[in-house]
């Protein structure tokens, strides 16, 4: 039989990137128009779902390598009426993204590292490039789909190879870019009463 009679040896139509693949990705936030100034959610980036859950609708585009231009769609949790777990997972992912994009070790607690983990708003995340670990989850229909649950930081042995020189280039800009924030962060511990709303806010939304 020829190839157009017997299709057992045809390639499977699975379009998934293998679980555990490390890839450089760029995040585009698809705006949902939901803001809550008390949470630091501004700019119309957040989306509020029918269940009351709030999230960032993330479109992650692989920028380099054999999977370049492939898109992975993942929601970054901000709030769930079911409890704090989803929001905590979202904050953890964003922390990893900032560490990865800005070349910061997760263990680095210096003033510079802490400043690099702060953002002025979700606009700072739109367009961010970092190293993602590709995972496999399920969509609403129960079918397998790629998703991103974690970022790879400089602590990982393959970080430098995958990231290339981007982190080094950012390091020079990042030090200057975050310098103006340092005087402000230095005064925060002495004035907790002056910012009662900040305590309940994610650190990356302040």
* pLDDT score at 37: 94
* pLDDT score at 179: 36
The list of the chain residues with pLDDT below 50 reads 166-206
Three-class secondary structure assignment of 132-173:
EEEEEEECCCCCEEEEEEEEECCCCCCHHHHHCCHHHHHHHH
* pLDDT score at 11: 65
User: Domain map of the chain by residue range?
Assistant: 22-165
pTM above 0.85, yes or no: no
- Stated as kind and residue range, the H or E segment containing 59 is strand 54-62
* pLDDT score at 100: 96
* pLDDT score at 206: 36
* pLDDT score at 9: 77
Q: How many Å apart are CA 153 and CA 100, to the nearest integer? A: 4
* pLDDT score at 188: 39
* pLDDT score at 200: 42
The answer to whether 122 and 46 have CB atoms below 8 angstroms apart is yes
* pLDDT score at 15: 84
* pLDDT score at 189: 40
Measured at the CA of 69, the angle between CA 64 and CA 73, to 5 degrees, comes to 110
Coil, strand or helix: which one is 37? helix
* pLDDT score at 6: 83
* pLDDT tens per residue, range 116-165: 999 999 999 999 999 999 999 998 889 999 999 999 999 999 999 998 75
DSSP-H helix ranges across 47-110:
85-102
Helices 166-178 and 85-102, axial angle in degrees (round to 10): 100
Q: Which residues contact 87 (CB under 8 A, 6 or more apart)?
A: 77, 78, 79, 80, 202
* pLDDT score at 85: 97
- CA gyration radius, the chain: 20
* pLDDT score at 20: 95
Q: Checking phi first, is residue 40 left (phi over 0); if not, alpha (psi -120 to 50) or beta?
A: left
Token representation of residue 201:
């806010």
The answer to whether 31 and 112 have CB atoms below 8 angstroms apart is no
């Amino acid at each position: 039989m020829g190839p157009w009679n017997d299709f057992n040896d045809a390639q499977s139509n699975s379009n998934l990137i293998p679980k555990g693949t490390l890839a450089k990705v760029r995040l585009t936030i698809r705006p949902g128009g939901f803001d809550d100034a008390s949470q630091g959610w501004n700019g119309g980036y957040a989306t509020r779902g029918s269940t009351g859950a709030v999230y960032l609708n993330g479109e992650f585009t692989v920028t380099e390598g054999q999977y370049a231009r492939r898109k992975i769609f993942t929601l970054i949790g901000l709030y769930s009426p079911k409890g704090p777990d989803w929001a905590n997972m979202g904050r953890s992912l964003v922390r990893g993204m900032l560490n990865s994009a800005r070349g910061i070790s997760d263990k680095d607690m210096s003033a510079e590292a802490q400043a690099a983990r702060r953002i002025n708003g979700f606009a700072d995340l739109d367009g961010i490039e970092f190293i993602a670990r590709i995972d496999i989850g399920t969509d609403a229909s129960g079918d397998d789909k790629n998703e991103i649950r974690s970022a790879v930081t400089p602590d990982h042995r393959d970080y430098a190879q995958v990231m290339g020189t981007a982190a080094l280039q950012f390091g020079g800009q990042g030090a200057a870019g975050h310098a103006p924030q340092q005087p402000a962060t230095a005064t925060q511990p002495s004035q907790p009463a002056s910012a009662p709303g900040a305590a309940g806010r994610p650190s990356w939304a302040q």
